[in-house]
Amino acid sequence: MSSYTAHFKVWRGDADGGGLADYQVEVNDGEVVLDIIHRLQATQAADLAVRWNCKAGKCGSCSAEVNGRPRLMCMTRMSVFSREETVTVTPMRTFPVIRDLVTDVSFNYTKAREVPAFVPPQGVAAGEYRMAQQDVERSQEFRKCIECFLCQNTCHVVRDHDENKPAFSGPRFLMRVAELDMHPLDAAAEAGLDRAASAQDEHGLGYCNITKCCTEVCPEGIHITDNALIPLKERAVDRKYDPLVWLGSKIRRRGQ
């Protein structure tokens, strides 16, 4: 096994401010960035705050920015950097820092709560739901999400624009709206909820200009933009400009 000493810069600080601290740290074959952060904790910086859990790319807690790129630290191999390269690790930029590499991601929990849940179809008992395999596969892609919030962190709509946060749910939760809107058994429409319209009006879909930056950083490889956001935009537009839908909404309004 070969080992070498790497130069790391790690952001240290809290909500009141901070900066990059320099470390020289041992790296061994096969290690990932999270291993090095743990070695730093064990040998040089016992109070370094870092959130992690599974070390297998499944819990979504070790999100950070490594050399400026949003990534999971446990899935970023040290072998992708040259031995001479300085590796800089900073907390996710879009969310407020609590301490060191740990951010307050509660923005995402707030947005999650704002998406109305699946509405069960009337007259179909649990266990009797039937769906075409094609529909199952479509939503299964979205279900791979590990809620690492790297897509939320990367999206330029909120990355440096706190003022957009109240009106924009971000790619992860717009994808959830899309998933429910595409669900053949979701009875939201019968209950009076137009999910595509609410994506536009309440979750800020119009802010998204389909740059695909969210898709590029998703560790699960979910095609967030192509398979969720663009179809959701198409459905929202179709409903708005469909003359039958337009006429129906006028009649409904008059009848109120």
Site stretch for ligand SF4 (CB under 6 A), options 36-44, 123-131, 139-147, 235-243 = 139-147
Tally of CB atoms within 10 A around 133: 7
**171 lines the binding site for ligand SF4 (CB under 6 A):** yes
Strand partners, 10: 21, 89
Tally of CB atoms within 10 A around 30: 10
**57 lines the binding site for ligand FES (CB under 6 A):** yes
**149 lines the binding site for ligand FES (CB under 6 A):** no
Contact of residue 55 among ligand FES, ligand SF4, none (CB under 5-8 Å per partner type): ligand FES
Per residue in 192-217, is it b (16+ CB within 10 Å) or e — as a string?
eebbbbbbbeebbbebbeeeebbbeb
End-to-end CA distance of the chain: 75
Identify the helix (H) or strand (E) that includes residue 200.
helix 195-201
Local structure of residue 220 (DSSP, 8 states) = T
Is residue 174 exposed (0-12), middle (13-18) or buried (19+ Cβ within 10 Å)?
buried
**54 lines the binding site for ligand FES (CB under 6 A):** yes
Site stretch for ligand FES (CB under 6 A), options 49-57, 110-118, 124-132, 133-141 = 49-57
Contact of residue 57 among ligand SF4, ligand FES, none (CB under 5-8 Å per partner type): ligand FES
Contacts of 227 (CB under 8 A, 6+ apart): 138, 141, 142
Site stretch for ligand FES (CB under 6 A), options 58-66, 131-139, 196-204, 239-247 = 58-66
Judged by beta carbon, residue 90 or residue 215, the one nearer ligand SF4 is 215
* CB 20, CB 41: distance < 8 Å: no
Minimum CB separation of residue 248 from ligand SF4 in Å reads 30
Contact of residue 54 among ligand FES, ligand SF4, none (CB under 5-8 Å per partner type): ligand FES
Q: Which of 127, 209, 244, 251 binds ligand SF4 (CB under 6 A)?
A: 209
Both structure tokens of 36 = 């090095």
Distance CA 34, CA 101 (A): 11
**170 lines the binding site for ligand FES (CB under 6 A):** no
**61 lines the binding site for ligand FES (CB under 6 A):** yes
By CB under 6 A, what part of segment 71-90 binds ligand FES? 72, 74
Distance CA 225, CA 223 (A): 6
Binding site for ligand SF4 (CB under 6 A): 145-151, 154-155, 157, 171-172, 208-214, 217-220, 222, 224-225, 229
User: Would you tell me which residues interact with ligand FES (CB under 6 A)?
Assistant: 52-55, 57-62, 72, 74
